[in-house]
Amino acid sequence: MTRSLYVRTVLIFIAAVIISLVFSFVLAIHMYSSNVTTLAEEQMIAQGKKIISELTEASPEELATVVGNAVEVPGLRVKIMDAEGRTVGYGDGGSKQRTPISKAQLDLVLQGGIYRGTVAYTKEHPGPAALLIGLPFQLSDKPYALYITPELYRILDMFRKFTLTVLGYVLVAGSLLILLAARYIVKPVQRLTDATKRMAKGDFGIVLESRRKDEIGDLTESFNEMAGSLRMLDKLRSDFVNNVAHEIQSPLTSIAGFSKALRTKTMTEEGRKHYLTIIEEESQRLSRLSANLLRLSVLQQDHELHNPGFFRLDEQIRRSVIASEPQWRAKDIEPELELADVTVYGDPDSLEQVWHNLISNGIKFAERQGEIAITLRQEEDEAVVEIRDNGRGIGEDELQHIFTPFYKADQARDYAVKGNGLGLSIAKEIIDMHHGSIEAASEPGVQTSFTVRLPIGRNSGPV
C-alpha cells in the first residue's frame, strides 16, 4: 500500500503537518506562559499593594473584617503571615490548594524584601508549580508578609485544551485538503504511467494533453516529444525494413529469372554471356548492399576513431578523384580542383570513403560533359570541402531527407543510376564521428553542392 506514490505523498504531507503543529503548540504554550507570567506578576503586585493599602488604612476595630475581605480575591490565593510565622489571614480564591511558605521565603519578606519565585511545595503540601509574590507591610509597628499566588495552571490548562482543539481541527482540515492536493499532483503521473505501459506494448500514437505550466506539465510535454520521436523511429524502422526487402528482392528476382532462362532456353553464346553479365552485376549489387548495411550498422554503434592521425586532406581528396577517373572519363567530365594545403586529424580510411561517396554521387548525377568542382580551404580551425555538380538537382522539400538510409531524391534515377541510397547516410555517420558537419544545397536544373566541415586539431576525435 505504501508503495503507491499517492499514499506516500499523503503520508509525507500529513507527517509534515503534524510535526509543524506540535512545534507550533510547544512554541505557543511557551510564549503564552512567559507572557502570562510577566503580566500576572505585575497584576499581583498591584493587587498586593491595594490589599496592603486597605489593611493599613483600616481602624483596629475593622481590621479583622478588612483582613477577611482582603484575602478573598477570586482567582488568587492570598496569605498573610506575622513575624512568628503564623497565618493571620488566608483566602484560597475558590481553590482547595494550600500555599506553603518556607522559612527562607518568610524571612526575606519580613526583612522588607519582595519575593518573586514559586511556591515551595513539600510532600505534606504537594501541588503544581505556581508563581508566588511576597510583599512586606507593617501594622501597629509589627512586620507582616503578604503572599499572593495566582491560579495560572487553570488558565494554562484551559489554553492548552483550547489550542489542542484548534490544532486538531487544523489537522483534520489540512489532511482533507492534502488528500485532494495529492490527487491533483499524482493523477498526471498515473496518466503518464498508463501511457508508458501502452508505449511499451508498441502503441506510439499516444498524445497526452496538459495545460499545466509546472514540472508535471514539462514532463508531459517531454513525454509527447519522446512519443513523437518514437513514432518517427518506428516509421523509419518500418521504411528501413521495407527498403532493405525491396533492394534485396529486386536483384534476387533478376538472378532467379535469368538463371531459369539459362537453364530452360536455347540461346546463342552472345545471349548467354549477356544473361551471365546481368547475373554478375546483380550479385555485385547484393554484395555492395550487404557491405554498406554492415558498414552503416557499425558506424551507428561505434563512434570511436580506430586509426586516427594527422594527414594531408588535399592529397587524400586528389587520390579519390584519380581513383574515380573511369567514371568521369565515361561521362567526358574534367573535374576542377582547387585544393589548399590542409592537414587534419582523423581516421584516413573512413574519410576516404566520404570523398569516394560524394564524388561518385556528383559524377553519377552530373550531365554528360558537365562540371564537377571540388574545393578545399581552411577557415580558422576548420577544413571546408565543397563538392559541386551541375546535375538535375534536388527539390527543397527533399533536401532534409537525403541523409536518411535508402532515401533517393529522384526515384526515377533508380533505373538509370546504380545505387542503394546508403552512401550519403554512411558519409554523414563518418562526419559526425569526426565531430564535423555536412550540408547539402541545390538549385534544381542548375547545380547541387555538398559542404563538409571538419575540425583540424585533435579535438576532432571523440571526447
Q: Are residues 289 and 311 in the same domain?
A: no
Q: Are residues 307 and 278 in the same domain?
A: no
φ, ψ for residue 179 (rounded to 5)? Answer: -60, -40
Mean confidence (pLDDT) of the chain: 77
Q: Are residues 40 and 151 in the same domain?
A: yes
Closest CA to 67 of 52, 84, 47, 86: 52
Residue 442's DSSP bridge partners are: 448
**431 in Cβ contact with 457 (< 8 Å):** no
The string of pLDDT tens digits covering residues 164-184 is 787 777 777 777 777 777 776
**Which residue, 270, 296, 322, sits at the end of a domain?**
296
Q: Are residues 291 and 309 in the same domain?
A: no
Residue 386's domain spans which residues? 302-460
pLDDT at residue 461 tops 50: no
pLDDT at residue 281 tops 70: yes
Q: Are residues 12 and 129 in the same domain?
A: yes
Residue 209 forms part of a structural domain: no
Residue 436 forms part of a structural domain: yes
pLDDT-derived band of residue 312, with 50, 70 and 90 as boundaries? very high
Count Cβ atoms below 10 Å from residue 247 Cβ, excluding itself.
Answer: 21
Q: Are residues 234 and 127 in the same domain?
A: no
Q: Are residues 234 and 307 in the same domain?
A: no
What percent of the chain clears pLDDT 90, i.e. is strictly above it?
6
Closest CA to 75 of 158, 138, 163: 158
As a whole number of angstroms, the distance between CA 7 and CA 18 comes to 16
What percent of the chain clears pLDDT 70, i.e. is strictly above it?
76
Residue 339 forms part of a structural domain: yes
In the chain, the number of structural domains is: 3
Residue 41 forms part of a structural domain: yes
pLDDT-derived band of residue 1, with 50, 70 and 90 as boundaries? very low
**Which residue, 296, 320, 344, sits at the end of a domain?**
296
pLDDT at residue 323 tops 60: yes
What is the predicted pLDDT for the residue at 155? 60
What is the predicted pLDDT for the residue at 377? 92
Domain containing 20 — which CATH number?
3.30.450.20
What is the predicted pLDDT for the residue at 384? 93
The string of pLDDT tens digits covering residues 119-160 is 766 555 555 567 788 889 888 788 888 888 876 555 666 666
Helix, coil or strand: residue 124: coil
First to last CA, the chain: 46
pLDDT at residue 315 tops 90: yes
pLDDT at residue 328 tops 90: no
As a whole number of angstroms, the distance between CA 334 and CA 390 comes to 13
Residue 174 forms part of a structural domain: no
As a whole number of angstroms, the distance between CA 343 and CA 457 comes to 9
Domain containing 342 — which CATH number?
3.30.565.10
Residue 443 forms part of a structural domain: yes
What is the predicted pLDDT for the residue at 293? 67
As a whole number of angstroms, the distance between CA 116 and CA 68 comes to 24
Q: Are residues 42 and 141 in the same domain?
A: yes
Helix, coil or strand: residue 89: strand
Give mean pLDDT, residues 24-39: 67
What is the predicted pLDDT for the residue at 463? 33
Domain containing 250 — which CATH number?
1.10.287.130
Closest CA to 382 of 463, 460, 295, 266: 460
pTM of the model: 0.47
The string of pLDDT tens digits covering residues 189-236 is 778 878 888 888 777 778 887 777 767 777 788 888 888 878 877 776
pLDDT at residue 458 tops 70: no
Give mean pLDDT, residues 349-360: 86
Residue 175 forms part of a structural domain: no
The string of pLDDT tens digits covering residues 363-417 is 888 888 888 899 999 988 899 999 988 877 777 767 777 777 666 655 434 434 4
What is the predicted pLDDT for the residue at 276? 85
pLDDT-derived band of residue 452, with 50, 70 and 90 as boundaries? very high
Q: Are residues 248 and 325 in the same domain?
A: no
Q: Are residues 286 and 310 in the same domain?
A: no
Q: Are residues 334 and 274 in the same domain?
A: no
As a whole number of angstroms, the distance between CA 365 and CA 386 comes to 16
